[in-house]
């Protein structure tokens, strides 16, 4: 655990007692603070009280007297679409609001570092799509290379639940816009921006607010190296803001849309080949087509970002390539779950928005596509250019009929996962891919995308 020692002897309010909230309370207590906890869920409060924490309704009169700071879990809105009343009460009382990410960056460095030969470093990954795979791939490459690495944040363990930094160690963090938006301290050594597409717009008041939340990691974090995907205008803008000029190699530009040139530091992928150029000369290359755990252009973008981050940490190109070969991929993200009778079954339940689903659809051929769920803002028009390989769509979800009407491909309303899998498997032929890439949230039928992917996997395996 990372003890939070900046509030020794002070009361700290903790709002939200899920994984990150409870871990924050423990780290604060370990560092000498007195956490005052609250959650609207009685079961969450009971769990906290069983660990000896005091729970107090933070909306009661005088709740913030003697409180130094309010720590908020990432799922709790602080501005849009409407701030949580507890946050409003804290602001009216003049109490600062922070989250566990801010506490981590305040607390990670210690006096023990004075005796280290190599300072611990933090790599932070954000973006709309691919950040989990990118963060996991960086961690995998470091681990395979014998480096001391920990994976945390929005993936793996809570940021304050990891071990203190050791000599030469690296912490790899996946950070969502919810996490970067509120953290009062953001100081990564290497920061990665994968891409940007519309998501969580209600939480951020639109696309500008969403980008601003991501941008904070770079503008306020001041990383030594910034790895920036520049295939969207926002990424190109961010890279331009951070770089002092064309030769500034503190910014590593990444693309899967075009070959990059110039005197700076670039990593790009074209037709399945990753290339690294620095000062106008090629410095490394990787044949990504052979890496089974990274199929499709969207995963090639993840590979480029992870490669660039690892190069910024000093790893050699061949070392990175060797480690990539053994990367298994992540569950629910272009995950090959079975192959039988010449048919491949792929679980990409994490494709919860149109952009990520389109990338999955472009990664495979001869697709029997299982899609549908709780549709997000913006409709499905952006899928039109990604449907060329789709033989048929099998639509699930409570609004399956309406979803199917928007698709410009042959489709069948199945409603349930069981029915969709059964129909797709009956009609699939040798060389086909049965792909779950919903292009929608899961909450109309499932608790989360993981549960949806597990249901798909179970239905497939039960029929093989």
Q: What is the pLDDT of residues 278-305, one digit of tens each?
A: 999 999 999 999 898 999 999 999 999 9
In a domain, 32, yes or no: yes
Contact 229, 305 (CB under 8 A): yes
| Same domain membership, residue 401 and residue 276 | no
Contact 421, 397 (CB under 8 A): no
In this prediction, residue 382 carries a pLDDT of 84
| Same domain membership, residue 374 and residue 301 | no
What kind and span of H or E run contains 45? Answer: helix 42-50
Stated pTM of the model: 0.89
Contact 362, 300 (CB under 8 A): no
Q: What is the CATH number of the domain that holds 379?
A: 3.90.190.20
In a domain, 18, yes or no: yes
| Same domain membership, residue 311 and residue 191 | yes
In this prediction, residue 376 carries a pLDDT of 82
In this prediction, residue 390 carries a pLDDT of 97
Residue numbers in the chain where pLDDT is lower than 50: none
- Residues near 40 by Cβ (< 8 Å), separated by ≥ 6? none
In this prediction, residue 290 carries a pLDDT of 87
Backbone dihedral angles phi then psi of residue 421, each to the nearest 5 degrees: -65, -45
266, 298, 325 - which closes a domain: 325
Any alpha helices (H) in 191-335, and if so which ranges?
201-204, 207-219, 233-242, 296-312, 317-325
Q: Residue 376 CA to chain centroid, in angstroms?
A: 18
Contact 227, 309 (CB under 8 A): yes
Q: How many CB atoms lie within 10 A of CB 163?
A: 12
Which strands, in side-by-side order, build the sheet including 251-255? Answer: 149-153, 170-174, 121-126, 190-193, 225-229, 251-255, 265-270, 273-278, 281-287
| Same domain membership, residue 279 and residue 146 | yes
Separation between Cα atoms, residue 177 and residue 204, nearest integer Å: 9
Contact 190, 215 (CB under 8 A): no
In this prediction, residue 240 carries a pLDDT of 96
| Same domain membership, residue 242 and residue 122 | yes
| Same domain membership, residue 250 and residue 137 | yes
In this prediction, residue 460 carries a pLDDT of 98
In a domain, 103, yes or no: no
Contact 418, 436 (CB under 8 A): no
- Residues near 113 by Cβ (< 8 Å), separated by ≥ 6? 119, 120, 165
275, 303, 325 - which closes a domain: 325
| Same domain membership, residue 273 and residue 152 | yes
Number of structural domains in the chain: 3
Q: What is the CATH number of the domain that holds 42?
A: 3.40.50.720
In a domain, 255, yes or no: yes
| Same domain membership, residue 274 and residue 363 | no
Tokens of 5: 């020692």
In a domain, 172, yes or no: yes
| Same domain membership, residue 294 and residue 184 | yes
67-68-72 Cα angle (round to 5) = 90
In a domain, 363, yes or no: yes
In a domain, 3, yes or no: no
Q: What is the CATH number of the domain that holds 217?
A: 3.40.1190.10
| Same domain membership, residue 189 and residue 316 | yes
Annotated binding-site residues read 127-133
In this prediction, residue 218 carries a pLDDT of 97
| Same domain membership, residue 424 and residue 373 | yes
Annotated binding-site residues for ATP read 127-133
In a domain, 256, yes or no: yes
Domain enclosing residue 261, as ranges? 109-325
Which strands, in side-by-side order, build the sheet including 97-98? Answer: 54-55, 34-38, 11-15, 67-72, 97-98
In this prediction, residue 105 carries a pLDDT of 97
DSSP class of 346: E
302, 325, 348 - which closes a domain: 325
| Same domain membership, residue 315 and residue 339 | no
Does a cis peptide bond (omega within 30 degrees of 0) precede residue 81? Answer: yes
In this prediction, residue 204 carries a pLDDT of 94
Separation between Cα atoms, residue 88 and residue 449, nearest integer Å: 32
Mapped onto helix, strand or coil, the DSSP state of residue 149 is: strand
């Amino acid at each position: 655990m990372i003890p939070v020692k900046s509030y020794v002897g002070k009361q700290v309010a903790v709002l939200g007692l899920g994984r990150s909230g409870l871990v924050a309370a423990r780290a604060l207590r370990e560092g000498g603070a007195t956490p005052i906890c609250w959650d609207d869920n009685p079961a969450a409060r009971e769990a906290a009280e069983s660990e000896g924490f005091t729970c107090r309704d933070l909306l009661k009169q005088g709740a913030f007297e003697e409180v130094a700071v309010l720590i908020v879990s990432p799922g709790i809105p602080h501005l849009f679409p409407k701030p949580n009343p507890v946050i409003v009460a804290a602001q009216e009382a003049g109490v600062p609001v922070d989250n566990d990410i801010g506490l981590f960056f305040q607390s990670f460095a210690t006096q023990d570092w004075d005796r280290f030969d190599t300072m611990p470093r933090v790599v932070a990954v954000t973006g709309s799509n691919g950040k989990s795979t990118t963060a996991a791939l960086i961690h995998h490459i470091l681990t395979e290379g014998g480096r001391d690495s920990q994976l945390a944040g929005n993936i793996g363990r809570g940021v304050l639940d990891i071990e203190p930094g050791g000599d030469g160690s690296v912490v790899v963090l996946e950070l969502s816009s919810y996490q970067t938006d509120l953290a009062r301290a953001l100081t990564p050594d290497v920061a990665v921006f994968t891409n940007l597409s519309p998501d969580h717009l209600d939480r951020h008041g639109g696309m500008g607010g969403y980008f601003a939340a991501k941008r904070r990691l770079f503008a306020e974090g001041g990383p030594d190296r910034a790895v920036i995907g520049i295939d969207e205008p926002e990424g190109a803008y961010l890279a331009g803001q951070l770089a002092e000029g064309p030769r500034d190699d503190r910014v590593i530009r990444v693309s899967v849309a075009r070959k990059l040139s110039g005197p700076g530091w670039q990593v790009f992928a074209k037709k399945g080949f990753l290339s690294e150029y620095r000062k106008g000369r090629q410095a490394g290359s990787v044949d990504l087509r052979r890496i089974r755990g990274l199929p499709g252009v969207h995963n090639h973008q993840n590979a480029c970002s992870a490669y660039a981050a690892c190069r910024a940490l000093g790893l050699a190109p061949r070392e990175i390539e060797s480690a990539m070969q053994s990367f298994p991929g992540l569950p629910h993200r272009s995950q090959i779950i079975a192959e039988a009778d010449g048919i491949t079954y792929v679980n990409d339940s994490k494709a919860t928005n149109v952009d990520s689903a389109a990338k999955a659809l472009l990664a495979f051929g001869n697709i029997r596509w299982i899609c549908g769920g709780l549709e997000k803002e913006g409709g499905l028009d952006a899928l039109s250019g990604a449907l060329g390989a789709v033989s048929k769509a099998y639509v699930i979800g409570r609004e399956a009929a309406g979803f199917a009407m928007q698709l410009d491909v042959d489709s069948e309303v199945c409603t349930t996962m069981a029915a969709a899998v059964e129909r797709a498997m009956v009609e699939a032929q040798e060389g086909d891919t049965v792909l779950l890439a919903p292009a929608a949230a899961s909450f109309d039928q499932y608790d989360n995308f993981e549960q949806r992917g597990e249901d798909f996997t179970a239905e497939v395996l039960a029929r093989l």
